[in-house]
Amino acid sequence: MSTRPVAVVGVGQTHHKSRRLDVSFGGLVREAVFRALDDARMTMADIDAVVLGKAPDLFEGVMKPELYLSDALGAVGKPMFRVHTAGSVGGTTAIVAASHVQAGKHRTVLAVAFEKQSEGNAQFALGSGKGASLGAGGAFAPFIRAYIQRSGAPEHIGWKVAVKDRLNALKNPYAHLKIEDISIEKVKASPMMWEPTRFLESCPSSDGACAVVITDQAGADAAAADGRPPAWVLATSSRSEPPSFPGRDPVRPAAALQNAADVYTAAGITDPRRQIDTAELYVPFSWLEPIWLEAYGLAEVGEGWKLVDDGTTELGGSLPVNASGGVLSSNPIGASGLLRFAEAANQVRGAAGEHQVDGAKVAIGMAYGANNQYFSTWVVGSSLDPFG
């Protein structure tokens, strides 16, 4: 890192469900925030600034909800910052919060992200109420077909990812989908949504929130001395590319490659497949797992699907991916990216509970948004020099 070391010392999330009718927007974010503060042994008084992220305001029909949420988030009298970078927003929220501390402007910052999808109609909002929308599944299906054609991957790869992530979700108390009898046969028999993506290869719509406490070196050292290991932020990057033009490759987006190069260079990672112990990748549709394994250098081009096929990315494999169950198991859209970053942090803190990857020292959290255009990633480690 070129700047002041910062670390995650608290992580919290809600129980994610289709409809959290038991809580208001304020109640939803507070559920995650208080878990994160408890985890950090802090109160709202310890927080110097709040960074809020969420996907389009049209999803819930509340414009700039950070204004209304200032009270619930304990932000009164403090800086309250709002990020929105499409589906990657949760990740970018963590990155911007980290930047607040890296710059030396603030000591301890709360990153919060949420979506309460049940309050609105995401499909309607994606089309801005102006007519039919392809939806995310429809938008990504052509990229998936292109990936399959290029790599020659067999069709069961998507089904395997879907089963793996749902099995992992059974070990995550906060996960939305708990499909006890998930199986290849069940996925294969589920309705075709957007060729080749079947219903059980798709993410759910969730209500949920996530919060992360990011602090400076002194705060992280104090947590470590108290027996609560921090997750050191070894590198962050956000990269974007324009929507569409000849020469753009949405299957292997240049912004994703650059995003990976940024964080690997900054973190001193030269062999990601060997040096990274586990990855939380943004996989809302099953085939995105092999696509991102390749874009992030965790597999050779055209070979990502083989890591799925041979069990490498399973919880017991040598590179577990989405041990938490991932976006395929919980998808409060704006929070989904922050959940990836938070789960990666918990892995290197040894705080992932039943879905802990044994001995994880280095993890990446990654989120993407729009038509494979916005990419945010961080690398976290159990120490500032995990390769030493």
Residue 22 CA to residue 45 CA, distance in Å, equals 27
Closest CA to 233 of 275, 266, 194, 260: 266
Q: Least distance (Å) from other proteins to the CB of residue 4?
A: 7
Radius of gyration (C-alpha) of the chain in whole angstroms: 19
Site track for other proteins across 199-238, x = CB under 8 A = --------------------------------------xx
2 is a contact residue toward other proteins (CB under 8 A)? yes
81 is a contact residue toward other proteins (CB under 8 A)? yes
Give 207 or 262: the residue with its C-beta nearer to other proteins: 262
3-state SS, residue 262 = helix
Binding to other proteins (CB under 8 A): which residues in 278-337?
none
Tokens 């290849």, located at residue: 184
Q: Least distance (Å) from other proteins to the CB of residue 80?
A: 4
At what angle are helices 333-349 and 89-102 packed, to 10 degrees?
60
359 is a contact residue toward other proteins (CB under 8 A)? no
146 is a contact residue toward other proteins (CB under 8 A)? no
DSSP state at residue 353: G
Q: How close are the terminal C-alpha atoms of the chain, in Å?
A: 15
Instruction: Name 254's Cβ contacts closer than 8 Å, sequence gap at least 6.
Output: 241, 248
Backbone phi and psi for residue 216, each to the nearest 5 degrees, phi listed first: -85, -175
241 is a contact residue toward other proteins (CB under 8 A)? yes
Q: Least distance (Å) from other proteins to the CB of residue 252?
A: 12
What number of other Cβ atoms are within 10 A of residue 44's Cβ?
A: 16
- Number of chain residues interacting with other proteins (CB under 8 A): 64
4 is a contact residue toward other proteins (CB under 8 A)? yes
Instruction: Kindly give the pairing relationship between strand 197-198 and strand 192-194.
Output: antiparallel
Q: Which stretch binds other proteins (CB under 8 A): 98-106, 175-183, 219-227, 271-279?
A: 98-106
DSSP 99-156: HHHHTTS-SEEEEEEEEEGGGS-HHHHHTTTSS---HHHHHHHHHHHHHHHHHT--TH
- What single letter denotes the amino acid at residue 61? G
Give 45 or 76: the residue with its C-beta nearer to other proteins: 76
From 11, 30, 59, 94, residue interacting with other proteins (rule: CB under 8 A): 59
Q: Which stretch binds other proteins (CB under 8 A): 78-86, 200-208, 290-298, 318-326?
A: 78-86
Q: Which stretch binds other proteins (CB under 8 A): 255-263, 274-282, 293-301, 315-323?
A: 255-263
22 is a contact residue toward other proteins (CB under 8 A)? no
Residues that bind other proteins (CB under 8 A): 2-4, 24-25, 56-71, 75-86, 92, 96, 99-100, 102-105, 125-128, 130, 237-243, 245, 253-255, 258-259, 262, 370, 373-375
